[in-house]
């Protein structure tokens, strides 16, 4: 397995975990939305789901952390290329 393949698999694993986290938050959101209030007017604490759980933000964090996009030392890249040939 090359470094690139490993990174793609790790990225897929992180995105799968994000989807599981999203589902857990969505379930919590739906079960607590009616009960969660603030102030004397009994306004909902979270006006919309995105304030409760920002899926896009977390997805961008995961995709931004990928080693595929990071700058890797040229000597390390050369060594990896030699090792994989």
Tell if the pTM clears 0.75, that is, is over it.
Answer: no
Residue 21: which domain range? 3-8+17-84
| Residue, of 40 and 5, whose pLDDT is higher | 5
Residue 5 · residue 12 · CB < 8 Å: no
DSSP secondary structure of the chain: --HHHHHHHHHHHHHHHHHHHHHHHHHHHHHHTTT-EETTTTEES-SSHHHH--HHHHHHHHHHT-TTTS---HHHHHHHHHHH-
For the chain, how many structural domains are there in total?
1
* Per-residue model confidence (pLDDT) at position 32: 75
pLDDT digits (tens, 9 = 90+) for 6-56: 999 999 999 999 999 999 998 887 887 656 667 677 777 777 888 878 888
CB under 8 Å to 37, separation ≥6 — which residues?
Answer: 43, 44, 45
Q: Mean of the pLDDT values across residues 69-74? A: 56
Give the whole-angstrom CA distance, residue 32 versus residue 37: 10
* Per-residue model confidence (pLDDT) at position 47: 77
């Amino acid at each position: 397995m090359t470094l690139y393949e490993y990174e793609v698999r790790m990225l897929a694993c992180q995105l799968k975990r994000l989807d599981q986290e999203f589902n857990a938050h969505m379930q919590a959101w739906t079960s607590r939305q009616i009960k969660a209030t603030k102030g004397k007017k009994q306004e909902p604490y979270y006006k919309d789901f995105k304030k409760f759980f920002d899926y896009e933000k977390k997805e961008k964090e995961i995709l931004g952390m990928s080693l595929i996009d990071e700058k890797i030392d040229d000597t390390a890249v050369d060594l990896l290329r030699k090792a994989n040939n």
